[in-house]
Structure 1
Amino acid sequence: MSDNTWLVVGLGNPGAQYAGNRHNVGQMVADELASRIGATFKSHKTPSRVAEGSLGPGRPKLVLAKPNSYMNTSGGPVSALLKFYSLGADRLVVVHDELDIPFDTVRLKRGGGHGGHNGLRDIQKAAGSPEFTRVRVGIGRPPGRMDAADYVLRDFAGPEREALPNLLSDAADAVEAIVEHGLVAAQQRFHSPA
């Protein structure tokens, strides 16, 4: 594989009943990126649906993936994709929902703990390393005493739905910035006050 290839995994749960859930925002970002590069998700030899394409001539190649597994067992599909494409964790970008970041906010990091996110925990274990890049898409905390598990498995609410296209676009822009300019430059852009 070219050294300008990146595996971008959008986390979520399979099935139409989960498609609009907060927990599936990673897959929504993968859909946005696929639309930008004119690619369609198709079945793959690994347990994932994959869309491949380039950001343009001379620009990085993206392998976009949506694991066929549930969020908490994302590690096996991600590990299989890394092996299939002969990529290391340094070429992996995982896009996922983040409770500890306000809605409509995107934050970027490499490595670190999983923060209780079971999808990240499983990927770290299967990949044998936490040293991959994460695009953390803020979904905010649940209201009142709502259980976090119930909250992430609900669809975005009315006002959130209106802002969602901009959030997905920002997260897709962040992925593009990471693969083209590096994590530090992307962080400077997306972590700066507006």
Structure 2
Amino acid sequence: MKFLIVGLGNIGAEYAHTRHNIGFDVVEALAAKYAATFRTDRLAAVTEFKIKGKQLIVIEPSTYMNLSGKAVKYWMDKEKIPVEQVLVVVDELALPVTKLRLRPGGSDAGHNGLKSIQELLQTNTYPRLRFGIGNNYPKGRQAEFVLSKWNEEELPVVQKKIAASVEVIESFVLTGIERTMNHANKIEITL
């Protein structure tokens, strides 16, 4: 059984470890836990490993956020992975920094990465793990906020939440989305 785990972000050093790139940070933590390293491949950085016999193909699209769907569709088709065995890890303004939200589908909520995936897959029913980044920014400054680095007070919470996200992904692969949602959506990370 194969799963496609997708971390959303933008390529380039200037975007590394920003709020918008939390998807990359989560899948890199997942890969590191299994001593897996990424290689450059078609439309993405890719790594593969197994968790208890289940094959994971983990990608970081190299297409920039607003074209993420190209990489997702290519790797789904190449590896013959059904949409319910895809999990997209994405930053979410509508959730506080302390929260995660796992959903089997839903709107793109104005997120360009999700919008691209939805357009190319022709569906909005694909699992996504939304990583709350908060919305503490002045009016009109959303783009600057999502492309900014975490502040010092947030970093310990973010590190704990990245570790929790890795556990959520493992649970999704091993026990399915329903059981995982019951647990993941109650998680509140505080110091």
Whether TM exceeds 0.5 here: the answer is yes
Aligned match for 2:50, one of 50, 54, 63 = 54
2:136 counterpart residue number: 142
CA distance in structure 2 between the partners assigned to 1:183 and 1:90 by the alignment:
9
Number of the residue aligned with 1:90: 84
Aligned to 2:20: 23
Q: Deviations over 1:109-153 (max 9, x none)?
A: 011111111100100111122121000000011333352111000
The aligned residue for residue 112 of structure 2 is: 118
**What secondary structure is seen at the aligned counterpart in 2 of 1:159?**
coil
The amino acid across from 1:32 in the alignment is A
Per the alignment, do residues 130 and 193 of structure 1 end up closer, same or farther by CA in structure 2, a change over 3 Å counting? closer
Distance, in Å, in 2 between the alignment partners of 1:115 and 1:193 is: 21
The residue that corresponds to 1:35 in the other structure is 32
Of the candidates 1, 9, 12, which is equivalent to residue 12 of structure 1? 9
1:166 maps to a residue whose letter is K
Q: Deviations over 1:67-118 (max 9, x none)?
A: 0011111011111111111112111100000000110211100111111111
CA contact (8 A) 2:99 2:187 kept: no
List runs of 5+ in structure 2 lacking aligned partners: none
| Residues 111 and 131 in structure 1, CA contact (< 8 A), matched pair in contact too | yes
> Is the Cα–Cα contact under 8 Å of residues 74 and 119 in structure 1 kept in the other structure?
yes
Partner amino acid, structure 1, of 2:26? V
Paired position in structure 2 for 1:128:
122
Aligned residue type for 1:50: V
Match of 1:75 in 2: 69
Contact 1:75 1:119 in 2 (8 A): yes
Q: 2:165 aligns with which of 157, 171, 193?
A: 171
Do the aligned partners of 1:89 and 1:129 also contact (CA within 8 Å) in 2? no
For residues 27 and 193 of structure 1, the distance between their equivalents in structure 2, rounded to whole angstroms, comes to 21
For 1:62, the aligned partner's letter is L
Aligned position for 1:184: 178
RMSD: 1.3
For residues 22 and 31 of structure 2, the distance between their equivalents in structure 1, rounded to whole angstroms, comes to 14
Scaled by the length of structure 2, the TM-score of the pair is: 0.94
Cα distance in 1 for residues equivalent to 2:129 and 2:57: 16
Q: Quick check: 1:162 aligned with 2:159? A: no
Moved more, 10-19 or 163-172: 163-172
Q: How many residues align?
A: 188
- What is the percent sequence identity of the aligned residues? 32
Distance in 1, matches of 2:82 and 2:138, equals 41
Please give the secondary structure, in 2, of the residue aligned with 1:69.
coil
Query: What CA distance in whole angstroms lies between the structure 2 residues aligned with 1:94 and 1:75?
Result: 11
